[in-house]
Structure 1
Amino acid sequence: MAILTVASFKGGPGKTTICQIIAARCVADGLVVSVIDADPTKAMSNWCHDTYEGKPFSCTAETSERSIADLAIGLDEKSDLVLIDTAGFGNLAAAVAMTVADHILVPLTAGAADLNQAEETIKQARGLAAAARRKIDVRAIMNRLSLKTNLTKHAERELLEAGIPTLKSTISHRTSYGEISYSGTIPKKGAAEKEIAELIRELREISWLPKATGQESQ
């Protein structure tokens, strides 16, 4: 029903964490979720198979640009949501993952390099959509923010001035997000849980995610 690719040409903005959050929260809400791990590091698929402790979802490691599109389309036929986690650099597999997507989410931190690479990623996504003659919606999301700092305010101004469409939701720099990689669970209380809930709510409001079909698991 929906293919969402998380992409950035720069390593370190939190693509895998964003995928972990969205996948775990959506499957807990009763959706059928399938993930394609197109990053050679296999961080997402290793986490899913070895560490994750929530309601199960499928996760396939696939880095071949020749296979990603067919795999995504096949999974889309039997899933409510297909998530694709891409490598932290521009490669053909990432380009295919963006071309096959319905929506592309570009995480970035409040640094000059991230801002520049986010802009380049969005430009390429728009070019790929034009070449494929189809509409692919692209948004940025601010991640690992230190709230109320001058750097964060500057990054927000830069995004606005560059005309980069950005989600209102943000993910701040919190220990609980760093713990996801080895705890096997996403935050279920406190400020982090509120940020996750707001992100999921906004993605549903803009029709990037299907509505929940069940209650979140405890």
Structure 2
Amino acid sequence: MGQIITVGSSKGGVGKTTLVNALAEFLRRRGASVFCIDADPNKNLSGWLSATGRTEVRVVQADDLVQVANEVSAVNDFLLIDVPGANSTALVNAIDISSLVLIPTKADAKDVVEAFRTYQHVVNAITKARRFSPKAFIPAAAVLSQIDRRASVDQVARRQLEGLAIPTLKADLGQKASINHASFAQKPAPYSAMADDIEAIGAEALALLETFRG
């Protein structure tokens, strides 16, 4: 059974789809078989990935998400799930079946609050799972996204996340004009534009999966 990584937040515009797209390419370049589920009604991920054809993607409704995820993860190394930027059934369903949850957040007070709300869904999912398996655990971490490294606000956001007891990756995704241009053009962002960032994020994500495997 493959690993299921959900990239989600109860807030839109924090870089979920960009991160899924980048992680898919990161894993594919390492020889892994990768499948993506686009559970967001905006269908931005499916639009991006369909433009290249390198990673298979399927648009899935919330009610069908668990069944499709189980089928797809059985025949792929990794399944990446992009969910709506809202407190939704799709978000909850995806978290419930995840091997890892990544929560993108910008360095903004409102986004950090939504990251906390999303993390609480992970805590709830663990609580439910432990009714049947006392050692059940779903690793999760916030990922600072669209960071302007010329400013210091990202350190403020990190302290806020730490104060809320939300695990946070050391790596972050910087703000780059080429990524924003690709988003407006409905094309995949060039991997070279964020290679260093996503290599670091991907390495931390894989380490979390390995630490909590089984």
TM-score for both structures, normalised by structure 2: 0.89
2:5 maps to 4
* 1:29-108 matches, cutoff 5 A: 29-49=30-50, 51-52=51-52, 56-65=54-63, 67-108=64-105
The reply on whether 1:197 has 2:199 as its aligned counterpart is yes
From 114, 117, 135, give the equivalent of 1:117: 114
2:192 maps to 188
State the alpha-carbon separation in 2 of the partners of residues 138 and 43 from structure 1.
23
2:133 maps to none
Distance change (3 Å), C-alpha of 1:42 and 1:82? same
Q: Is the 8 A contact 1:24 1:186 kept in 2?
A: no
**Which amino acid counterpart does residue 86 of structure 1 have in structure 2?**
V
The reply on whether 1:142 has 2:144 as its aligned counterpart is yes
Residues 77-121 of structure 1: per-residue CA shift (max 9 Å, x gap): 100100000001011121101101111100000111100000011
State the alpha-carbon separation in 1 of the partners of residues 204 and 16 from structure 2.
18
Task: Give percent identity, aligned residues only.
Answer: 26
State the alpha-carbon separation in 2 of the partners of residues 46 and 59 from structure 1.
9
Residues 38-64 of structure 1: per-residue CA shift (max 9 Å, x gap): 000011011111x236xx221000123
State the alpha-carbon separation in 2 of the partners of residues 141 and 31 from structure 1.
22
**Further displaced range: 200-209 or 100-109:** 200-209
TM-score for both structures, normalised by structure 1: 0.87
Quick one: higher RCO (CA 8 Å, sep 6+), 1 or 2? 1
Residue segments in structure 2 that go unaligned for 5+ positions in a row: 131-135
* 1:160-179 matches, cutoff 5 A: 160-179=162-181
Q: Is the 8 A contact 1:52 1:185 kept in 2?
A: no
Q: Is the 8 A contact 1:108 1:140 kept in 2?
A: yes
2:21 maps to 20
3-state SS of 2:86 partner: coil
**Which amino acid counterpart does residue 131 of structure 1 have in structure 2?**
K
Q: Is the 8 A contact 1:176 1:187 kept in 2?
A: no
Residues 142-170 of structure 1: per-residue CA shift (max 9 Å, x gap): 00111142322211111122211000110
Q: Is the 8 A contact 2:178 2:189 kept in 1?
A: no
Residue segments in structure 1 that go unaligned for 5+ positions in a row: 210-218
**Which amino acid counterpart does residue 96 of structure 1 have in structure 2?**
N
How many residues are aligned here? 203
Cα RMSD after superposing both structures: 1.8
Q: Is the 8 A contact 1:111 1:155 kept in 2?
A: yes
